[in-house]
Chains A and B, each alone.
Chain A
Amino acid sequence: MSTTTTSESRSRGKAPAGERVADWADGRLGIYSLAKANMRKIFPDHWSFMLGEICLYSFIIIILTGVYLTLFFHPSMNEVEYHGSYVPLQGQLMSEAFASTLDISFDVRGGLLIRQIHHWAAIIFLAGMFVHMMRVFFTGAFRKPREINWLFGFLLFVLGMFTGFTGYSLPDDLLSGTGVRFTQGAILSVPIVGTYISFFLFGGEFPGTDFVARFYSIHILLLPGIMLGLVVGHLILVFYHKHTQFAGPGKSNKNVVGMPLLPVYMAKAGGFFFLVFGLIAALAGIASVNPIWVLGPYRPDQVSTGAQPDWYMGFAEGLVRAMPGWEIDFWGHTLVLGVFVPLVLFGLFLGVIALYPFIESWITGDKREHHILDRPRNAPTRTAFGVAWVTGYMIMLIGGGNDIIATHFHLSINAVTWFVRIGFFAGPILAFIITKRICLGLQRRDRDKVLHGRETGTIKRLPHGEFIEVHEPLSQEALHTLTAHEQYKPAEIGPTVDENGVERKVKGSEKLRAKLSDAYFGEDAQIPKPTVEDYKEITSGHGHH
């Protein structure tokens, strides 16, 4: 081809410019050895493996648009009288933060679009992280060697929540101000140090004149800085571990099957960034988000009904709404359980999912690396636990919007709250039981499919008049895929008497583990996958079922 000939003709004297630049860089950065391992790095194709990319790209979009917003936003609570172009607020007293946000929305060309991209991207970033985390959870991708990366991801989710919170609080509007007031009330509930933390955070009494400036540096520097570090670490580990893959022909725990980074994933992943950005930009063009001008400036004596945080804080909001008003006075002190318990529960509930990989690896005692993903049905207890967790989360999300639900479904707000209170305990249990049954049912179906073949839908009449449905044996690919998963045996408590006949004390943790292991891998917890013997017996025995 023509390009080849030109490069050949040039190479007589000098290498092409690109190569020379690369050589120059390699001499200083050692990029060749880096590229050797990574340029043709293999990534498997599956839509669910792109959820993380959605998060990464929305994070980048948030940073880009956020930098733009800082050019116009004034993080100050100085009081000003508004004389901008939004008529229904003209002449009103408000903080400079609010006024500058109005200016971004109404007077800076494209400012509204960038604000909306920033906010929509934040909502999608958190939603993406949630779904990505669930994908990793339900497929068991958190197992060795990826536990640390799971924690990185979890931290990103939590930090994302607080970055979002400090971000939407910055405009100092009536809705977010109400949220900040709630935060301050929650801080006050902390025993012993609550009032001090509150006074230090707000520079005195609420609301004071400091919190916007302080939240600003937390929102644009501290938290995103940490997150950026975690994102880089997360990505390095993804590269280092190589991506997981689903079981299938040719795919094993010792390889990764897919397309190379250069060129396919360069184009696909690079293109996906533009797809994500484009979709969010279009969304910001057609749908309004956080229209602070209708909310008005914050005043601690004003409020609106339907006061909710952004969705990712809705779970915490639900916990607070559902909690009964317990308060204990003793020895001149008050223990504000009505607020403090939800605060603690919030941490615990999230903490459980963060530590789950370690709990599971303790139960299985499995120290090997896992690169083949589980199908959720093949880990019924884990799946059931995950669904129970999500159910609890969702019920509290409903609780956070109980007033909107009450008005839109014509229900009593008290009834909705009671539903949430009971549902928080009953829902996860029910979800656990149902999910486990569904998983076992699906396992059974897989087993039948392997042993008896696929139902073809073709009805055949046998010579003696009986009608049967023809079952078609599965291909070897399908047989392999359906039987590729591993099944653990429940761990038993080892011999209680050692070799010298001395009775050994069985520790409580050991008993607990044996119990949990039985719950995970006992007879009721998994359907034995078909063995070669099973298969042979049936196929050689009587042809069809």
Chain B
Amino acid sequence: MSSQDIPEEKLPAERASAPGAVDVADEKNPFADPGLPPHEHRIQDVDERAAKRSERTVALLFTVSMLATVAFIAAFVAIPVDKAVYVWPLGHISALNLALGLTLGLALFCIGAGAVHWARTLMSDVEIADERHPIEASPEVRAKVHADFRQGAKESALGRRKLIRNTMFGALTLVPLSGVVLLRDLGPLPEEKLRHTLWKRGKLLVNMNTNEPLRPSDVAVGSLTFAKPEGLEEHDHDFQNEIAKAALMIVRLQPGDIKDKRELEWSHEGIVAYSKICTHVGCPISLYEQQTHHVLCPCHQSTFDLSDGARVIFGPAGHALPQLRIGVNDEGYLEALGDFEEPVGPAFWERG
């Protein structure tokens, strides 16, 4: 049922009143529109002194604006860019920023205030009623446009010569494809890139803070350490991309506290290494509570239990943090025993 089908009488009746017409509140309709109330004069309209005062106020505002602009330029020239001042209650702030902001603000605000005050007090405030006209065209215009269109369509013979029409639509549909194709080189295909990190068997766990490889004795129970794979340096060209996947969080638990069998197997003397990248949308999760062994993501509050295979115990993450299997090499340094067995970071369609 189209909406035209609602019978007219269901719609509320429109109030008929001519613009500005004054209906008398007669016995017939006490709610009738009495029309625009008569204009009342402002003080400025009747008292020339008040008008003069308004004029002076407006002029004063414009003058203050000019002075503020001069002050702005003076501040710009005079105040060094690194000068700090203490201003209560703002604190220790840049003198230049404050001076420029306030003078510019004042200069602009006073122009506005002057103009508005001028409009409010000195320009005519007689309310005027303007008629509205329906937006819809009159039936004659409507008929003319439709006829013109039909005439034009007929003359183009678009409907009759189907071959032209179809090939034209075909061409127009195909041509944007070149644009789409051009976008192909925006980036490489994902392939297996999300599945691999720099970690592999034998890579030492290097302490993020000291840039030294970690020994098991460095990692105390209750401590928190962040590690990167050996050989990855901050200056490296692909450091950001690699650390985004390889960042590691290392904690030491009492082996007896570890509830998950695989976690225990992949640990070394209670030292466990987990991906620092949240499996939700990839924030570096690392709010480790050493008493509860919970680790919280600061972005969306996914909470993982590091004593139980880093399973999700709260929040929007869908799966546990990937664990890195670690051991100790001949020289007594902690090393990876392979790459992560599953993709780190957020889940994606091909993850499986």
Contact = CB atoms under 8 A, between A and B. Distances in A.
Q: Are A and B close enough to touch in the complex, i.e. CB under 8 Å?
A: yes
Chain B CB count within 10 A is highest, among A182, A362, A486, for: A182
B130 A476 contact: no
Contact of A334 (B132, B285, B348): B348
Nearest to B346: A185
B122 to A, nearest CB: 9
Nearest to B240: A207
A521 to B, nearest CB: 9
Nearest to A322: B316
B129 interface: yes
Given A252-B15, A486-B12, A333 B349 contact: yes
Interface residues of B, number: 115
Interface in A237-278: 240-242, 249-260, 263-265, 267-268, 270-278
A111 B40 CA distance: 49
B328 to A, nearest CB: 24
A273 B100 CA distance: 19
Interface stretch (B42-50, B143-151, B164-172, B184-192): B184-192
Interface stretch (A162-170, A191-199, A345-353, A429-437): A191-199
B282 A185 contact: yes
A460 interface: no
Interface string A31-68: 00000000011100000000000000000000000000
A110 interface: yes
Given A267-B118, A489-B10, A494 B300 contact: no
B234 interface: yes
A418 to B, nearest CB: 10
A249 B33 contact: yes
Contact of A532 (B29, B96, B350): B29
A486 B12 CA distance: 6
Nearest to A540: B27
Contacts, number: 397
Size range of the chain A interface in the assembly: 35 or more
A257 B36 contact: yes
B243 A271 contact: no
Contacts of B187: 199-204, 208, 210
Contacts of B114: 271
Chain A CB count within 10 A is highest, among B129, B287, B302, for: B129
A285 interface: yes
Interface string A503-527: 0000101100100000000000000
Interface in B1-23: 1, 3-6, 10-15, 17, 19-20
A268 B115 contact: yes
A402 B292 CA distance: 21
Contacts of B76: 109-110
Contacts of B17: 252
Contact of A320 (B93, B188, B281, B298): B281
A414 B301 CA distance: 8
Given A199-B188, A278-B110, A254 B128 contact: no
A130 interface: no
Contacts of B11: 364-366, 368, 488
A477 interface: yes
Contacts of A369: 134-135
A281 interface: yes
B349 A107 contact: no
Given A325-B316, A536-B30, A271 B119 contact: yes
A250 B315 contact: no
B348 A42 contact: no
Nearest to B345: A185
A85 B316 contact: no
Given A259-B125, A300-B277, 20 more contacts: A109-B96, A112-B94, A189-B348, A192-B349, A253-B15, A256-B129, A257-B36, A265-B119, A271-B116, A299-B243, A325-B318, A334-B351, A339-B280, A342-B316, A365-B11, A417-B314, A476-B31, A532-B28, A532-B31, A536-B27
Interface of A: 40-42, 79, 85, 93, 106-110, 112-113, 116, 145, 178, 181-182, 184-186, 188-196, 198-210, 240-242, 249-260, 263-265, 267-268, 270-286, 288, 298-307, 317, 320-327, 329, 332-339, 342, 361-362, 364-369, 371, 402-403, 413-414, 417, 450, 476-477, 479-480, 483-484, 486-489, 491-492, 494, 507, 509-510, 513, 532, 535-536, 539
8 contacts: A178-B283, A204-B193, A249-B34, A263-B119, A298-B240, A301-B247, A339-B347, A536-B27
Top 10 A-B pairs, shortest CB-CB distance: A285-B101, A185-B281, A327-B318, A278-B109, A282-B105, A271-B115, A250-B36, A274-B112, A365-B6, A278-B108
